[in-house]
Structure 1
């Protein structure tokens, strides 16, 4: 070989190994000028440059097959010409290399059969022991193409076996790693595998997993992930491996990553220590900082892999909205959706919703109109308890897909059940109803959306009836709520919720008989429904069938023995019927349940919300059994009104320091989800039972216990006033009632008891004023109207007294022992 040709071909090999196609073109041009354009090496290298450059813009995928057949038709003849030419004194194997490139070309054109035939005629391992860097790449690509073609022909019914395909992928992987190692020694430029080698590196481990060799597949995936040179495919490989760990691996079969290098390194440290070359104090000590982290289970490793994949994906995403990047953006969004779906599954076991929300937020910069990612972001914020922001995100989801009622429905639910913003809940509910009326969703039953939308609209209006709404609007809201609940029932005649909601609303409207009919229909559909049984007992108590009501409660308690809402109702029933000793036993039963659940919480890491769900049908309903004041009067039985929230949370400041801000009130749900609040209510209920039994000493001890949890609560102040009143300390009782009303101006029972004291002291005018205020707050309280009637009669207002007594009789005929709004109406 002439020295001139040798020098030029050495340059060509150097630039070829580096993948520097610009420099390679210049060197090839020099060779062409020296030996002519018909030289075999010139034709080969020019064809390779053209083929490699074409693959950069048009990867050999299935969707590019027709284009490749058209664009690369002439290139095939050029490669055949290079294979047929004879070149003397060259370091290139033009026959071998041109045939390998022809195989790559045939694969890109979808011609798998001729590609396989050509590969079988080539001895790919001829120079296995002394392959150059680029020959290793050729061998890796040849085996990769052969495996991909065999896999495609097998799908079409070929006789190819999995062993043949896996053998090709294994050898391709082996040559790829050798190529990577040699490339890193010789070149400083970034390594580019190309689409074909990337596919082979990924397909091999996945076929092992499909075959059932989970251990082998995972080891190969880990090997790819630990190689620095394969960083170009780390994102997809990490995601695929996480998918395997989450969905295809039993926890018992999990094995952690091996750390042989680390173990060998530590063995050397220990050996040096024994030989005296290291200090004695460090001989057998391994610093924790030197020890690499090793996942303890498959979920931990999956989360680490997904976070790695997410970091790579969002490092430099395509933000250019030009049409030429449309395909790249589409692929990016597809990868993002798959990645975050897997991450959501992984972090859900650890309840790390806030972390997930922060992670997915980084993808929104290129997914501004992708509904799926925005909706996932909204759901993660909901689970993390960030309700205000989640509603803003749900509004963005509605902007992207205004035809979908689901984001509106979720926003309405958050406004109603979490934030107590019933006006906004009504607005979102109406938008959901409008969207559900025109939507045509093939994946979901539109009737379900319509029924749910009517329920949300009706519940919002029902809550507005008892949330400071004017008397003029109250009747309209109530009748509209009844109509919407009825419509929901007509759309979904087999659903229990529409019947339950309708029965509660009819009961609140005083139509007890109609409510009984509806709740019986609901019980026919679902005989053991907790809320239906609860409501049935209250309706029977409103009809004065106390024995039957107590029997229904006992039946419900047998089905739900740990439900404190039912036990609280039973205790109230027993007090009303004069069974004070039985009521005391019920209080003890509730206390034992609470203690047992607290122990279970400590032993099984049971969180407060889960504990509350086991104890109550709804985390908010327990506030309705408040000893001093049934909060359903002004607060719809679920969430304390805006004024009461700030005062109530201020009273909770001892329980939750630095968390209650009167200027930024939280939902009562967050307060009552603390078990200490439930414990305080139980102590107050027990105190009321002891007061009924005239056991003032025990009642005082119970109030003192409740004061430990929230000493300045209006409930504790009221209980102290009742205790002082029973002990005939009237001045102390008045001070407590006055303080109670200062904390909660809508506490009607404190007004009633304060008025009774003034009646005894002869101050009828002030008592009359207090009772009138209480009647405005609690117009369906029989006790308030009777007391007001007695005061008016004493003052000589016989007509007014008659009206009050008539109203008391009318109210008493439809009043349950426990308010109807204590029944949970959970959307």
Structure 2
């Protein structure tokens, strides 16, 4: 390299060297004339300097683009530069110590003209492969870094354009990788040295021309490392200077090094190369590049590296890596951050999250808050970087159950995301995943405003209302909005399905027969349209089958559920509904076979286990049912215990059905909130709460989400029911005690305690428990029926009639209610009404499933 002894140079030569380092090429040409005037022996050096200046000046003004028109323009534009550089070759150039530099610059010139073979020939003449590491000037560092980069690009072009044998291709790939690795190391070192020189130039102007010692120890980054943003070209002269300083070739080399390793199937080496570059001390020119590298490495670790082949960063290494064929002195290696007090990720999860948080910090720093039109392009570019990072962060955090971290990131993003619908929608989805339902709905409402023609945010809001907020009418409104936004015929209508689901849920919740019948009719029409518009949608077929089941049309329901299963055999809710339809068709053993087969596919699905336990009870196999319910408790611990302890939430494909179906005692439009329909109900609620006061003294709120604890209550109460079937009331009481420790005010617990009193024939105590349950939830049908039967036994037929008629209004399809009402009317002497009730019971009983069809929870997948 042209590493001249500066002690013997003239003042002009020192000034020229300084201008070369700073890229002032027009000034270099002017000073070259003075150099030739001062001494005719400098003719060869002057030719080299002019050729270099013309080449660099052209490349700064014209972007390097691989196109025939660009190559033709470059050949004519660089003709003078080529002539001057050729004059610097030969014996005179060797004596002046510039022949090597001239060959390297000629290779760069040929590359700009698309002459890749000639470029490689010039590198051979320069003996680039045999250069020994030594101390270099700033300008020489950049020339050498770009030379390795250009050689790598030429080899890559040669490999792709010319077919060769497997051995030769592997040999060229190895050489190409070596070139890109050296280019990235030298490029980072050059940028680090440039930062030092530019920082010291104000106090010592001679530094730029001095020889640099690049074997310094690790240096801590200065506070000025984050002073300049290179992401936004409009940020001012400093940003333009940073971009100019790096140059297109150097930037390409820094990004290309790991990519060629991935292309040649050397994934682990690519990961190490990313780590080496990210561990190098940051410079002003590499700040935006650092964002790209961090994001790319995170993506590689997420997509290409499994846990079995993952290796922690720099495990057993110094962190600098090795250079192929290089010296052990490592003069051409970039300086690294000191290892003292440095966090080192221990596993794949920690490294990916760390990389993405670093990338987020870098991307957020460069965002543009101004909404002025002149900043539109810069704002879009910055938002593109931010959203790319947030998309990867979403994949990583959801995969590893770190949704709260994602929420915090999106909350920070809102301050610069005015009008950015993608960020708002992702934020809404993250809130839904974190079960912050009310806040998620408000965010989705904002997303609707930002995309007035997109039905998706309306559908998400509708699902939220149906599934979590229990505001079905509001959800139905959103479904209608989505239907209006759909472009007819563009794609199958999911909005039509959501409209049908909304009407179906309103029918289930309605207490008035006329209103219920109207909603059932609208639901059936909407679901039939949904099936017509998309005959391959298993979900539409499933809900249409459920609608026919609710209407008592079992033949049609079975036909549609079979078609839904033909479309998607592994759909757990379809299998659940199919089993219930079989029980309603008096085929309980077939239903048990369906459930057993489904549990082979979904072994920890609590819904299916719940149905299995009830089928076993129905078939009078209580001992087996006991084992099933005990297994349900074990499954609950496996699914929820770690989550409730604050540990990482477990995920698996078989845990798709962790929302337990309500049993016959626990369904019937249940609500765990206290529902006071009248002043009388309020007084009864107060009485019920006073009954539970003794339990409250030892009650403490369980940690974590509410739903898992309510599921455990239901399992304990089902276990209590099984124990009563096998004549073990004490064990049943123990189960109720366990449930009371979780939530003593549950009306379901009050009802089950009343059932035990019925078993023990303690009728007054049973009556009080059922009154408490009805006070806490007037819509609990089983409690109303049990209270009516208890009134009848206690000789209170009029009160029994009132309770049973209230229950029949809520659920007119329950044969047990009509049978009990028939006995009441018979005692009251209304034999005609009694006969009608018994006839209704007989008519309903053959088509009554082992569990109500409404016990199947909502499903949207």
Shorter-chain TM range is 0.7 to 0.9
Structure 2 residue aligned with 1:241: 297
Structure 1 residue aligned with 2:471: 421
Instruction: Indicate how the Cα distance of structure 1 residues 239 and 722 shifts in structure 2: closer, same or farther if over 3 A, else same.
Output: closer
- After superposition, residues 71-110 of structure 1 pair within 5 angstroms as 74=77, 77=80, 80=83, 104=108, 107-108=111-112, 110=114
* TM-score normalized with structure 2 length: 0.73
Deviation at 1:508, TM superposition (A): 1.2
Structure 1 residue aligned with 2:701: 657
Instruction: Indicate how the Cα distance of structure 1 residues 744 and 593 shifts in structure 2: closer, same or farther if over 3 A, else same.
Output: closer
Structure 1 residue aligned with 2:743: 710
**Structure 2 residue matching 1:60: 3-state secondary structure:** coil
Query: Is 2:257 the counterpart of 1:204?
Result: yes
Is the 1:612–1:673 Cα contact (8 Å) retained in structure 2? Answer: no
Summarize deviations over 1:222-258 as a string: whole Å, max 9, x none: 3322221554432222333333434444545544333
Deviation at 1:465, TM superposition (A): 0.8
| Cα RMSD (Å) | 5.0
Query: Is 2:143 the counterpart of 1:138?
Result: yes
Is the 1:537–1:552 Cα contact (8 Å) retained in structure 2? Answer: yes
Instruction: Indicate how the Cα distance of structure 1 residues 595 and 135 shifts in structure 2: closer, same or farther if over 3 A, else same.
Output: closer
| Partner of residue 782 from structure 2, selected from 749, 762, 765 | 749
| Partner of residue 17 from structure 1, selected from 14, 18, 21 | 21
Structure 1 residue aligned with 2:596: 557
Structure 1 residue aligned with 2:231: none
Query: Is 2:547 the counterpart of 1:505?
Result: yes
Distance 2:9 2:648 in 1: 80
| Partner of residue 458 from structure 1, selected from 496, 500, 525 | 500
Is the 1:83–1:94 Cα contact (8 Å) retained in structure 2? Answer: no
Is the 2:808–2:817 Cα contact (8 Å) retained in structure 1? Answer: yes
- After superposition, residues 436-475 of structure 1 pair within 5 angstroms as 436-438=486-488, 440=490, 446-447=491-492, 450=493, 452-468=494-510, 470-475=512-517
| Partner of residue 633 from structure 2, selected from 594, 609, 615 | 594
Structure 2 residue aligned with 1:6: 10
Structure 2 residue aligned with 1:317: 367
| Partner of residue 437 from structure 2, selected from 387, 390, 394 | 387
**Structure 2 residue matching 1:466: 3-state secondary structure:** helix
**Structure 2 residue matching 1:294: 3-state secondary structure:** coil
Is the 1:489–1:495 Cα contact (8 Å) retained in structure 2? Answer: yes
Is the 1:597–1:611 Cα contact (8 Å) retained in structure 2? Answer: no
Distance 1:244 1:611 in 2: 22
Deviation at 1:738, TM superposition (A): 2.6
Summarize deviations over 1:9-32 as a string: whole Å, max 9, x none: 42342354355x4xx867876887
Distance 2:189 2:352 in 1: 28
Is the 2:401–2:648 Cα contact (8 Å) retained in structure 1? Answer: no
Instruction: Indicate how the Cα distance of structure 1 residues 567 and 225 shifts in structure 2: closer, same or farther if over 3 A, else same.
Output: closer
Structure 2 residue aligned with 1:685: 718
| Partner of residue 156 from structure 1, selected from 158, 161, 170 | 161
Deviation at 1:55, TM superposition (A): 5.9
Instruction: Indicate how the Cα distance of structure 1 residues 373 and 145 shifts in structure 2: closer, same or farther if over 3 A, else same.
Output: farther
Distance 1:240 1:456 in 2: 39
Is the 1:415–1:425 Cα contact (8 Å) retained in structure 2? Answer: yes
Instruction: Indicate how the Cα distance of structure 1 residues 28 and 526 shifts in structure 2: closer, same or farther if over 3 A, else same.
Output: closer
- After superposition, residues 201-280 of structure 1 pair within 5 angstroms as 201-214=254-267, 216-229=269-282, 231-232=286-287, 233-249=289-305, 251-258=307-314
Structure 2 residue aligned with 1:270: none
Deviation at 1:714, TM superposition (A): 1.0
The runs of 5 or more residues in structure 1 that have no matched partner are: 265-288, 441-445, 661-669
Distance 1:57 1:792 in 2: 100
Structure 1 residue aligned with 2:409: 359
| Partner of residue 669 from structure 2, selected from 610, 634, 647 | 634
Deviation at 1:657, TM superposition (A): 1.6
Deviation at 1:621, TM superposition (A): 4.3
Summarize deviations over 1:171-197 as a string: whole Å, max 9, x none: 434544564565466442687432211
Distance 2:158 2:676 in 1: 72
Query: Is 2:708 the counterpart of 1:673?
Result: yes
Distance 2:471 2:345 in 1: 44
Distance 1:98 1:327 in 2: 40
Distance 1:776 1:613 in 2: 40
Is the 1:534–1:556 Cα contact (8 Å) retained in structure 2? Answer: yes
Distance 2:113 2:515 in 1: 73
Query: Is 2:519 the counterpart of 1:515?
Result: no
Is the 1:76–1:102 Cα contact (8 Å) retained in structure 2? Answer: no
Instruction: Indicate how the Cα distance of structure 1 residues 613 and 30 shifts in structure 2: closer, same or farther if over 3 A, else same.
Output: closer
Deviates more, 1:75-84 or 1:705-714: 75-84
Deviation at 1:743, TM superposition (A): 1.7
Distance 1:143 1:701 in 2: 78
Summarize deviations over 1:451-507 as a string: whole Å, max 9, x none: x43332222211111224654432222122222332333344455433332222112
Deviates more, 1:403-412 or 1:730-739: 403-412
- After superposition, residues 525-536 of structure 1 pair within 5 angstroms as 530-536=572-578
Instruction: Indicate how the Cα distance of structure 1 residues 612 and 466 shifts in structure 2: closer, same or farther if over 3 A, else same.
Output: farther
Deviation at 1:158, TM superposition (A): 7.7
**Structure 1 residue matching 2:176: 3-state secondary structure:** helix
Deviation at 1:549, TM superposition (A): 2.1
Is the 1:238–1:308 Cα contact (8 Å) retained in structure 2? Answer: yes
Distance 1:605 1:740 in 2: 28
Summarize deviations over 1:133-154 as a string: whole Å, max 9, x none: 2122222223322332332343
Distance 1:680 1:384 in 2: 23
Instruction: Indicate how the Cα distance of structure 1 residues 296 and 147 shifts in structure 2: closer, same or farther if over 3 A, else same.
Output: same
Distance 1:590 1:3 in 2: 91
Deviates more, 1:34-43 or 1:248-257: 34-43
Query: Is 2:303 the counterpart of 1:300?
Result: no
Distance 1:97 1:620 in 2: 72
Is the 1:553–1:566 Cα contact (8 Å) retained in structure 2? Answer: no
Deviates more, 1:143-152 or 1:563-572: 563-572
**Structure 2 residue matching 1:257: 3-state secondary structure:** coil
Instruction: Indicate how the Cα distance of structure 1 residues 527 and 261 shifts in structure 2: closer, same or farther if over 3 A, else same.
Output: closer
**Structure 2 residue matching 1:502: 3-state secondary structure:** helix
| Partner of residue 855 from structure 2, selected from 791, 804, 822 | 822
Instruction: Indicate how the Cα distance of structure 1 residues 332 and 525 shifts in structure 2: closer, same or farther if over 3 A, else same.
Output: closer
The runs of 5 or more residues in structure 2 that have no matched partner are: 201-224, 226-241, 321-338
Distance 1:330 1:426 in 2: 36
Distance 2:582 2:414 in 1: 54
